[in-house]
Structures are given as C-alpha cells and as structure tokens.
C-alpha cells in the first residue's frame, strides 16, 4: 500500500541509532555559532536557544563552537571547554534533555581562523604565513600538535561530564584540523605534511583520542570538508580518501559532510545571497572601507539550490559504510525523505531552524512541508549580536 503523509509516519520521524544512542528522529540541528557567550560564558540566551530547538522537535541540537585550547577560540567571546564552563553546559544539556532531545558538543581548534588580537595569542596553522585579510599565522610545531591533541582528550572528557550525548569533532572550514588536510595551507615536509596520509595524521590521532576519552555511552562524529571551495585546497578525490582512512580507524559513529572555508570562502558553505552591506556594518569603521573594496572577493555569491552538497556527498555514500549526515541548505520534507531513501542516516539543518525552530514538529504533524527560510543569509552577520533570523520579530537575541 503506498505511504501517504496522513496515514503513515515518515521515515524522517522514526527513531534512529547513532552509535550508542537512539535519537527520536533523523533531523539534527547543525552547529551554528551562537554569538551569545559574552566573555566565553554560558548565558541564559545560549541555553534558551538550544532548548527551543529541542522543543521544536529536532532529534539533537549541536552546541557550537567549543574550543579545546585558549588560542583555539574564534575570539575571546568563544566558549572554551574547561572546568569553569562545565556547570553552565550541564544546565544547557539538562534543558535539552527535558525537551526529549539529545545534545551534541562541537569541539575543535580554530587554528588559522582564530582572531589572534582578540584572543591575545598567536593564530596557529600548519605552515605559518598570512590570512587572506593579512593577519600573521604561526606554524604549530610537533610539541604543539601533541599539546593540542591532549587538549582534545581533556575537552572530550569534560563534554561527557557536562552531559553531552554526542561529541562532534570539527574537521571542516579550514579550522586547524581541516587546515592540515588542505594541500594549499599545509606545506610541511615532516610526518604531518605531503601525502594524504601524512596530512590526515593529526586529525586521525585526534579522533582516536576523542573516541577513547568519550567512552562507550557517548557518540563521536566528525564534521569533514568535502571541498574547501578555494583554488589549491582540499577537493573530492582526496577528501573521499581521507574519509576512508577515518572509517578504517573505527573511531566514528557518523560523518557529517560539509565544505567551504571560514578563512577564505565562507559563502561556499551557505549559498544564496551574500550579505555584504549587513556584514560590513558589523565591522569597525577603520575596517569598513577596506571591506567595501575586497568584501565581494571574501563573500562570494553562489546560487542557492536545495541540498546543494548532495552531489558531492553521493561520492562518499558510494565509498563508505560509515553512517553519513547530509548537510547543505535542506528545507523540504521531500528532500529529507529522498536523502534517507538514498542511504544517508541523518540530515542536518541550520538556517531553516533559525527561521523556525519548531519546523520538525510541524513537518511531523503534517502542517508544514517546507521551511520559510529564503536564504537571504542576513543571519550571518548577527553572529556578533546573537545569531538569529532577522525576519522573525519576536526572536530573542540568541543563536
């Protein structure tokens, strides 16, 4: 008998396994920087943002971005996962659990994406040099790699203590682990540079370390760039090979597939309109003039298409048995169902849930089949004042 929306529960809303977890459905809130952690503290606004997502029906809400090292923060208002932040994060995970959802912690090291001036610490990269905006980068030495790996171990253990059900290791967007994977950014001639296997060594060590620290009751996933969107950067041929190496290590319960570079091409991840004027207005007056000149080269415009990463992600689906989480402008229930039918384990939504945190509930109830998000991307510049959809007048100043 043919399935209809009125007579059967869509596959999207059936319980689903993620490693040791059973999630209530297959819709995950992707990590989006919340911008409501003044001085790196857990605020009421941060707790409420993730509570609303959980109450809205998503199976799991991902807290972004939790730095494992002080210099690995994106800036001084980024949360550092240490003993001081555990009580606040426990309050957040308790609020999410009370709404019936799971909570994930995205952990990582910003590397070359870090704001060195705000952090008052050098921004680290595989090979040093300068960012596209002219900031100096310092090459991390082997001792630094070992120290940061230990920072990941400690952060994973603290995430478990804080009540997180899942840990997502950020290996995308040219943050530090992603930068090591990039042939453009990694010009090392030691055991961490050159071949694909060498460039993947740091990330693989971190993933195994996190897996060991997380224990058997916590899921571990990674967010991996399929393509950097930058000339000379990581591309599908090598990223599929890297994903296969990750799979062979057995440290991951799922892999979330992404792309783009926060360092050089962030719109590759977002697609749709580039909010040049709105982003420029957030910058200090001394910087705005320069941004008017180079801004269109940093925030490039790409046409929006539903599930725009799906053609890339299919390459991974064919090559791997690891459960995959599909990301990339997903707004339609039909697209979710189609992706699951192709064999993807979960879908991750970000902008759609900024616009409507209760979208999963309404999709499940049959009162909505698509998001109202218009992909204007004017949510992007709000990361400095509380990430939100600017089209929703009653939204509090949070993620």
Residue 395: predicted pLDDT: 44
Residue 356: predicted pLDDT: 96
Residues of the chain scoring pLDDT < 70: 1-10, 133-134, 284-294, 393-399
Residue 152 annotated among the catalytic residues of the structure: no
Residue 240: predicted pLDDT: 98
Full-prediction pTM beyond 0.85? yes
The kind and range of the H/E element at 139 are: strand 136-139
Residue 2: predicted pLDDT: 41
pLDDT in tens, 32-43: 989 898 889 999
Instruction: Match 């967007």 to its residue by tokens.
Output: 173
Residue 230: predicted pLDDT: 94
349 cis-preceded (ω within 30 degrees of 0)? no
Q: Closest Cα partner for 203 from 229, 232, 233, 182?
A: 182
Catalytic residue, from 175, 304, 312, 384: name it.
Answer: 175
Residue 397: predicted pLDDT: 36
Residue 9: predicted pLDDT: 52
Residue 308: predicted pLDDT: 95
Residue 277: predicted pLDDT: 80
Length of the chain: 399
Instruction: Match 């071949």 to its residue by tokens.
Output: 195
Give the span between the Cα atoms of 244 and 240, in whole angstroms. 6
Residue 128: predicted pLDDT: 85
Cα 334–chain centre separation: 24
Residue 246: predicted pLDDT: 98
Residue 6: predicted pLDDT: 43
Residue 398: predicted pLDDT: 33
In CATH, what class is 11-384? alpha beta
């Amino acid at each position: 008998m043919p399935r209809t929306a009125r007579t059967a529960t869509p596959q999207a809303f059936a319980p689903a396994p993620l490693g040791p977890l059973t999630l209530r459905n297959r819709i995950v809130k992707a990590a989006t920087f919340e911008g409501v952690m003044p001085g790196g503290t857990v605020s009421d606004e941060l707790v409420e943002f993730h509570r609303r997502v959980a109450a809205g029906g998503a199976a799991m809400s991902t807290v972004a971005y939790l730095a494992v090292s002080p210099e690995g923060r994106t800036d001084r208002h980024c949360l550092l996962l240490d003993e001081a932040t555990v009580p606040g994060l426990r309050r957040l995970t308790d609020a999410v659990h009370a709404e019936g959802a799971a909570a994930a912690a995205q952990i990582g090291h910003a590397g070359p994406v870090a704001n060195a001036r705000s952090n008052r610490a050098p921004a680290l990269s595989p090979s040093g040099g300068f960012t596209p905006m002219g900031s100096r980068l310092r090459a991390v030495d082997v001792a630094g790699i070992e120290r940061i790996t230990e920072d990941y171990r400690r952060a994973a253990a603290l995430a478990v203590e804080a009540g997180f059900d899942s840990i997502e290791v950020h290996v995308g967007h040219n943050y530090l682990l992603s930068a090591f994977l990039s042939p453009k950014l990694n010009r090392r001639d030691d055991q961490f540079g050159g071949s694909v296997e060498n460039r993947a060594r740091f990330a693989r060590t971190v993933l195994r370390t996190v897996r060991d620290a997380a224990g058997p009751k916590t899921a571990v996933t990674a967010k991996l760039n399929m393509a950097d969107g930058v000339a000379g950067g990581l591309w599908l041929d090598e990223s599929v090979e890297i994903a296969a190496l990750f799979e062979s290590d057995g440290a991951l319960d799922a892999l979330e597939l992404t792309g783009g570079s926060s360092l050089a091409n962030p719109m590759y991840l977002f697609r749709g309109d580039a909010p040049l004027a709105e982003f420029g207005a957030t910058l200090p007056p001394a910087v705005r003039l320069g941004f008017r000149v180079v801004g269109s080269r940093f925030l490039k415009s790409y046409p929006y298409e539903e599930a725009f990463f799906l053609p890339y992600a299919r390459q991974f689906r064919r090559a791997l048995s690891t459960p995959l989480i599909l990301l990339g402008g997903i707004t339609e229930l039909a697209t979710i169902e189609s992706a699951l039918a192709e064999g993807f384990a979960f879908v991750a939504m970000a902008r759609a849930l900024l616009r409507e945190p209760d979208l999963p509930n309404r999709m499940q109830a049959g009162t909505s089949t698509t998001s109202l998000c218009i992909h204007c991307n004017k949510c992007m510049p709000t990361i400095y004042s509380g990430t939100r959809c600017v089209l929703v007048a009653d939204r509090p100043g949070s993620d």
